[in-house]
Chains A and B, each alone.
Chain A
Amino acid sequence: MSGPRATRATGITAWWHAIRRDRKASIGATLIAGFVLVGIVGPWLVGAPDALVGVPLQSPSGAHWLGTNGQGQDVLAQLVVGTRVSLAIGFAVGLAVVLIGALVGVTAGYFGGRVDALLSVIFNVFLVLPGLPLAIVIAAYLPSGPLTLGFVLVVTGWAWNARVLRSQALALRRRDFVAAAVVAGESPFNIITREILPNMMSLLVAQVIGSTVYAIGAQVGLEFLGLGDVSAFTWGTNLYWSQNDSALLTGAWWTFVPTGLCVALVGFGLTLLNSGFDEITNPRLQMERAWRAHLAARGRTPTRSTPVVRDRD
């Protein structure tokens, strides 16, 4: 595989260029940027989400672009305000989950031995416990609200990251530059923060993105079950109310289709971004890209064969 030094050299600008070069990644990035923008400025552009603006269950019209819901509130306003909250929780949980995962995983991978055995057992246990039922059970006992939701999602989501990051740390631990640092007498804290974590940067980013997808999906699911704060405005509670107000029966598709699309678009965007990253950072796919460019420059089409990459180490 490619040397860690190679990824280490990539800075933010390099990422930026890489994203722009890759079609998938740029579509994903555009989608996410659009949603983040809506989440940040949108709530100021729409009316209050809880205002009673008209007759319940009006279909979309000029006055209410996405119609009104079963309570006579503007669906668009709720969607936009929900975007802010849902994305905020999603990204916060995604970040928290990876931080905790990195802490546990890297500690286990770096120190090895008993520490590794103990931590591994813990995250493996969390990994085999079914996530959604566990989340439901924990959420049931806590007062409903974004904090509870975040907590529940972190509890059920961190273990996967710990596992992935542990094996990465284990691999890096055997590398020369880490060994050199150990020999040089650097403290484990310094080695982890200065040598190991920076070398896992692309993996960490990928994990954050993946965890955010998980967090948004799980959050929407839990809120749909009424386990969130049902008086708040998030994508999940919008769907909960849509179901509660018999959207299917009344044919009020506008109360649940746009929200579901938004969830899917964000998830899709993040996944594209991630697979784009993968193409950028995965050496095999990099080689393939170069090979195709090389062939294209000579006016040929590539065959189905896949170029082989040799480890540079």
Chain B
Amino acid sequence: MIAAAPPPPWARLAFALAALGAVACARDVPRAPAGVLVVSQEQQASWIRNFNPLTTATSARWPTLAGIYEPLYVFNSQRSEYVPWLAVGHAWTEGNLVLQLTTRDSVLWSDGRPFDARDVAFTFDLLKRHPALDRRGLWGFLSAVDAVDERTVAFRFQRVFIPGFDEIVAQQIVPRHVWSTVADPVAFANENPVATGPFTEVRVFQNQVYELGRNPRYWRPGEPHFDAIRCPAYPSNDRANLALVFGEADWAGNFIPAVDRVFVGRNPEHHRYWFPLTGSSIFLYANTRRAPFDDVRVRKAFSMAIDRTLMVDVALHHYSRPADATGLSDAYAAWRDSAAVAAGDWVRHDPAAAGRLLDAAGLVRGADGMRRLPDGKPLRYEVLSVAGWSDWVRAAQVIARDLQSLGVDATVRTYDFSAWFQRVQEGNFDLTLGWSFEGPTPYSFYRWLMASATVSPVGVAAMGNWHRYGSPAADRGLAAFEREADPTKQRALCVELQRVFVSEAPAIPLYPNPSWAEYNTSRFDGFPAADHPYADPSPNKFDRGELLLVLTTLTPR
């Protein structure tokens, strides 16, 4: 073989280039200027300029719904109370058929024009004329909305429906003088928003970052305390988490695995998180239109077979806790009845008791150890989950394992979301994981779990109540709730609903979802924390305006 040739000239050139490249790549940490809060909430490849607060919620850039535009009242889920915002007061009149809202004086739109009751009436009228904008289904119970005078709006209802208040006051209000000239508000991108919120000035809008400056005319004196919000486009959870870990982002609402090690461990002084359990509750839904799930004993037995402690460890990295038998998350802590919780012994992990319940229901073990229906058919079920939703898939695996040791031949089956959703909606399943429906009160939560009115026939797509359970006792409680405006009496009715749920076990609660919030206190102070729980800490809470409480509290260091 020949001797190795000396490196030719091109190699020297390559080395020189590489050295030059290395010099060009000095290490750095991109830092935003002081007073600019860097937030990662949406995950997209590049930004599209859209600040329309009325069309589908995903189209508008964060925080259009609670930051640029504002609702009438802000619901504080931590304190379970309403904070007056664009409205300062309300009253029910004409036997609770009319809701009168008093709007705030001295509020200016960001272009300097005054805000008044006619803007509110105009906004609701817009929703009536364009049903695609009516995300909350307001005109399902409203019959008319009028501005009585400059400060009063009257909402006339089709029937007495007190929970309608929650939906009305959460509506973002748009300026009449701008939107009355918009030809198609559904397809309106609203690139230069005129609004009442703390951040209304679009300073930068590029495909990978945008920046919103403070509203110079904001109605809350001295607020916001900082200059601007910056949102870089991170396409994935992973990338957003990297930004957070390296201090590029100040605030995010992502799932981070092993958060203590990965995030807090890098900077224990400033890297903080708080995951209050105020997300929607995750349930195991059993199709009550199919035997043996029409038998409450079977549902309770399945529930007792599940090791929820293991489930929250495996599926959620300890970030949650096992659900109690009311199914209520901590968002409803003030509503929860301890007696109902105590009565719900069927969420405790007790395989022996579960076995006895199934025996009593006539589902006894055969010679092979597997249980059979009275007609001899084996209990063979698929636990449905959504492909790619790793927490659900893991939870379903725990369920399948636990049911197998109970003598039930359960396997996990994952579908793409659309396929899964179609099966679930049409009632074409035995067991499936699913979420719950949330609102400021447990009304809609329990309504979609057990109201007869929400039961659709099998084969017809149901918006909720996929397990198709109707309870006459719950119907009475819910009907009373709809007509009850007194908070103390509402609470009593809610206790009644909890008791019904605990005794009938329409669905099997698994765990409440955390509300994700991570933040970096090296540049900003005043994030909600477990020791200072003034609001929900997550930037994801924009639907009901809670985000505004945080944006008006944060102060730069």
Contacts and interface: CB of A to CB of B under 8 A. Distances in A.
Interface stretch (A79-87, A170-178, A242-250): A242-250
Interface stretch (B142-150, B255-263, B334-342, B549-557): B255-263
Q: How large is the interface on B (under 10, 10 to 19, 20 to 34, 35 or more residues)?
A: 20 to 34
Contacts of A143: 416, 419
A248 B1 contact: no
Interface string A211-227: 00000000000000010
Interface string A100-131: 00000000000000000000000000000000
Interface stretch (B201-209, B234-242, B537-545): B234-242
A72 B419 CA distance: 27
A61 to B, nearest CB: 17
A231 B393 contact: yes
Interface string B372-393: 0000000000000001101001
B256 A246 contact: yes
Interface stretch (A50-58, A194-202, A276-284): A50-58
A244 B236 CA distance: 9
A290 B455 CA distance: 83
A52 B397 contact: yes
Interface string B1-30: 110000000000000000000000000000
Contact of B257 (A50, A70, A231, A301): A70
Contacts of A312: none
A144 B398 CA distance: 24
A5 interface: no
B397 to A, nearest CB: 6
Interface residues of A, number: 23
B416 A52 contact: no
A251 to B, nearest CB: 8
Contacts of B237: 246
Given A143-B419, A249-B238, A229 B257 contact: no
Interface string A34-60: 000000000000000010100011000
A275 interface: no
Contact of A70 (B1, B245, B390, B414): B390
Given A231-B414, A244-B390, A301-B2, A249 B398 contact: no
A70 to B, nearest CB: 6
A310 interface: no
B314 interface: yes
A52 B401 contact: yes
A306 B360 CA distance: 88
A249 B314 CA distance: 19
B398 A248 contact: no
Given A231-B414, A250-B262, A52 B398 contact: yes
Nearest to A228: B387
B416 A144 contact: yes
Given A52-B397, A52-B398, A52-B401, A71 B416 contact: no
Contacts, number: 62
Interface in A143-166: 143-144
A244 B390 CA distance: 8
By secondary structure, the A interface counts as loop
B400 to A, nearest CB: 10
Interface string B419-441: 10000000000000000000000
A71 B390 contact: yes
Given A56-B314, A72-B314, A249 B256 contact: yes
A71 B314 contact: yes
B317 interface: yes
Contacts of B2: 301, 304
Most buried by A among B1, B236, B390, B412: B390
B397 A50 contact: yes
B50 to A, nearest CB: 24
Contacts of B397: 50, 52
B390 A241 contact: yes
Most buried by B among A52, A243, A301: A52
A230 B387 contact: yes
B388 A244 contact: yes
Interface string B251-269: 0000011100110000000
Given A248-B238, A248-B242, A71 B394 contact: yes
15 contacts: A50-B412, A52-B401, A70-B257, A71-B314, A71-B390, A72-B314, A143-B416, A144-B387, A226-B388, A230-B388, A243-B236, A243-B238, A248-B238, A249-B245, A250-B261
Going nearest first, the 4 A-B pairs with the smallest beta carbon separation are A231-B414, A230-B387, A246-B238, A230-B388
Interface of A: 50, 52, 56-57, 70-72, 143-144, 226, 229-231, 241, 243-246, 248-250, 301, 304
